[in-house]
Every structure is written in structure tokens, then in C-alpha cells.
Chain A
């Protein structure tokens, strides 16, 4: 049992960090929650009130539901693709013993050195009409590819942003699983696929869940990629929120949108956690 002095010592270490979190995260959220209950006025900007009208507006209009549906679809699709591409990559990296492991890991990390907006501009050059992809396709196949301002462009762009997070998380998870376990399974006659599915996969599942949730959250909150690669006609929640804040100066409604987006993401990640069998949860 922990002694009283130990508890005090632990508290004194945790105290400063807790205070910082309270100050820079919780306090603005409380303020934002208060704003979301105010009324918007084009002249006054915001009139103090306690109304649920901003939330009611979102839930009563099909337009906003559709934007939320698009956001969830993109986030889910990107997460699934990240898993599909990231799992084998992370597994191979984890089991690699050659001197190439570190350079390869660096290659995965390197994109994170560049901001996602700059990377998206790179995609814009690739996807643009008469851009690299369009010109190559026209030269090789005699057909033009117009990917700019399409949902495909948004999914590819978001995938490129999220994939390093998925690979790095999964690689750490696989690194934490003892190599000898799969060797023991092989020794007992299990083929590699069976050894992976029966031994490695259940052990990796909590970590895979965390990586998927991380990727899903990033997808739900994507802003620069949908704006730059999707164009004004492709609507997701974060750009919509910014439109209300920036174009309309409607702080109360954009605050409500922020809470709805946050609430939906939390709800879906909690639901996702229930999909993982209880005994495998982190």
C-alpha cells in the first residue's frame, strides 16, 4: 500500500502538469462551451444567452448531417487504408534486423518533418490539370486524369498524412511482442499465417486499436487537406467550422460545431473500443 508521503510526492510531481493541462486545454474548452450557448448577432457578434439553438440548428438541418456523414466516411476509409498499408509495413520493419532498419524508419518519419499543408501543396502539383500525373497519364495512356478537387484526392492526401502515425505506432506494438512466441508456435507446427493470427494478432490488437483510433481522430479533424485538395465543394466538419468562424464570424455556432465534432469523435472511438474483445483491450 502506498504511503501518505509517497502520495504527496506523486501529487507534487503531477501538480504542475495538471495545472498546465487545466489552463491550456480545459479552460478554453469551458469558455468555448459557454460561447456555444450564446446567440449570434451580425452587429453585436455574440449576445450572451443560454440557448441550445446552435445545437438544434445542426441536428435539424440535413445539410449538416450530410457534412458529418462525409467526415465520418473519409475518416473510416482513411483508417481502413492506413491499417491495410501500415500493418505489413510495420510488421516487416519490426522484424527487420539488417542495417537498413534505421534508414527505413527515418524514411517513414521524414514526412512528419514537413507540415501537412506543405505536403498537400505537393499533392496539388501532382493532381492538377496538366500536372505531373495528368501529363504522365496523357503521354502513356492517351487519357487525362483529373483528380484535383475530388473525394479521391482528399482520401489520398489524408492517407499520406496519417500513414506515418499508423506505421510508427504499430511498429512499436510489434516490437513489444517477443519474437520467440512466433518461433515457439512454428516449432509446434503452426504455419506462419496461423502463428500470426493466433499468437501475434491477439497480442497486438490493443495497440492496433490505439493506432486506428489515432488515425481516425486525425481523419475526423482534417482541415488543410480537404480544403486544398477537395476544394470548396467538398465539405467536411473542420472546414465547415472554420467557414462559420471566419466568413460569418458566427462564434456561437462554430463553438457548437466544435463540440458536436468532438462529441461524435469521442462517441465513435468509444464504440470502436467495444469492438475489441474485452480480454484484449489495452
Chain B
């Protein structure tokens, strides 16, 4: 009788094999332990991707912080902060919001104060964009968009959109309604907060067969297909559309441009404020700011990030510089529900 072959499975072999198999998990676990996580409430899509590519991967991760993304629209995000503001532990560390929403949250006492001691780069922010609780990330002026192929004399004022020759050929994304109302108020009433005058002008624009689009992206291709001749849009989007091959150009209205300012806030009850401050500081680094300008067409909010080359040309403001109007967040946050209701019943519903 032959001896049974000696088993190759030894105790040492099993231990070595197990260690080898478990190595990736151990390494990942060690890395996860090293990186401090924080919850980032943000928009999805391009914005989230660019945050990852320009802020988190090159800067924030090197500082040992890593985001857990809570993607969604701004209003539910703000509502979440409001609803949980009295709880000892909140659900978000950093929330991306527009300036108007940030004001409303600050008014409710839901936001942490941001100082240069917490976020040193805030000292580089442009005047008028930051507040005690809001750190601006990107900004863009609202301009008049037009088709350079079909519009030989570019529009110079909101009033030009009312021209009957643009009947049925003027439009913008429906979601921008509040900024369009401000632009109309600025033209007709001399103030972005003059909503009564704005209502009159926008009602006239509506009778010029105004076209409304369900998303920002869907308002670009109509310039290519010939559906739209003129509209209202952010300068940033014009740059993006141009880069995508859409023949569209920007004209700065002589009455002034409303500024779209988007940034970030830290809720008072954020579970990991230290990581949140580090992230805000990384977001204000010139390299991160230039990345957003190059890829998304938004202007840097810090003075130490200088644009060069094609981006500088695309995003250049004309000379003399146009009047730039920072919306009055205090007035707007109170006016928004009434204007939204009016828009839905009067402009959309025709």
C-alpha cells in the first residue's frame, strides 16, 4: 500500500495565504483610517465631478480629508440643514449653496461663522462676495446671450429682448427665473429688487412668445438648431456651450449684470468642522479656482488666481467694465416664495 501523499496545506502556509488575501482589505482599511471623512452636500453632475478633480483629489486628500458625497438639489439640502438645526449633531459638514440661500440659513442661525483663523484663504476673497458665514466658490455675471450667426446687432439691454423681431426666438432655462426677474427689475426699475417693475417687463416678454426650457443644458442647443436668437444666461454657460461647438455669444447689458454667486457654508452642528474648514480652504486655493474657470467657465472668487490664455479671453469682462450687481440676499430671500408663485401662475401658465 502506497503512503498517502503528504498534504501541502500546512499551518504556516494557511497563515501566510490568509495574510496575503487580507492584505488589500488591511491596506484600504489603514488608508480609510488615515483619511478623515466629512459629509459634503453638493449638486451632482459636472459640479461634483470638478470638485473631486480640482479640490479633493489634488489638494484636500493630501491634507488627510476625504468627502462622503450627499448629492442633490439646493432647496432640499437647505431644508435638511433647517430641519436638523436644533439637533446636537447635524447631517452635513459642508453644504454648497447660492448666496441667497446662505443668507436665509444664516438668518435662521443655522450656520457657523467663518473667520481667517478657521479658513486662512478667505482673506483673498473678492470684496462683497463673502459674508460672515458664506465662503464664495464661483461667480459669473448674467449676460444677454445671442446667436452671432443670425443676430447681426447684439442686444445691449434687457429691453432688446422685447423687440417683436425676436418673437418666439427668445428663451432661457425656467430654473433661472428669479435671476431673470432681477435683471428685468434692474432694467425697468433701476434696482434688482424692484420686482413690481420686473413683473411688468417679464409679462411683456412673455407675450413675445418667450421660450422656457426645463433644464440649463437644454437651453444651449436651440441656438444651434435655430430655435433661439437671444436669451439670458450666465457668462460661464456661454463659455461651456462655445467649447461644445454651439454658436452663441455674450453681450453685457448696459444697465448692469446680476451676479450669480455660489459658495459653501458650514452648519453650526456639523459633525466634523475641522475637516470642513480644511475643505473650504482647499476650495479657495488658486489652482482649484483656476480648474473651475477652465472647465466650467466660472470666475475665481479669490484675487490671487489669475486667468490666462483662452479662458481669460472667453471670460474677460469688457472695457469699460460693466456694472456688476450683487443681489440683495436679505430682500430676495423674503421675496422668493411670492415671486415663484407669481411666475408659476402668470408666466408659465399661459
Contact = CB atoms under 8 A, between A and B. Distances in A.
Interface in B196-248: 212-214, 218, 221-222, 225-227
Main SS at interface, chain B: helix
Interface string A35-70: 000001011111000000000000000010010000
B212 A251 contact: no
B222 A249 contact: no
A128 B225 CA distance: 9
Contacts of A246: 73, 75-76
A43 B348 contact: no
A280 interface: no
Interface stretch (A17-25, A87-95, A165-173, A229-237): A229-237
B79 interface: yes
B174 A232 contact: yes
Nearest to A231: B214
A239 to B, nearest CB: 9
A246 B340 CA distance: 11
A46 B333 CA distance: 16
A209 to B, nearest CB: 34
B212 A129 contact: no
A79 interface: no
B274 interface: no
Contact of B104 (A42, A243, A251): A42
A250 B73 CA distance: 15
Contacts of B349: 63, 66, 233, 235
A105 to B, nearest CB: 34
Contacts of A233: 212, 348-350
B150 to A, nearest CB: 14
A251 B79 contact: yes
B225 A130 contact: yes
8 contacts: A44-B82, A45-B79, A128-B221, A130-B226, A232-B348, A247-B75, A249-B75, A249-B76
Interface of A: 40, 42-46, 63, 66, 124, 128-130, 227-228, 231-233, 235, 240, 243, 245-251
Given A249-B75, A251-B79, 18 more contacts: A42-B333, A43-B104, A43-B333, A44-B108, A63-B349, A129-B226, A129-B227, A228-B214, A231-B174, A231-B212, A231-B214, A233-B348, A233-B349, A235-B348, A243-B340, A246-B73, A249-B76, A249-B78
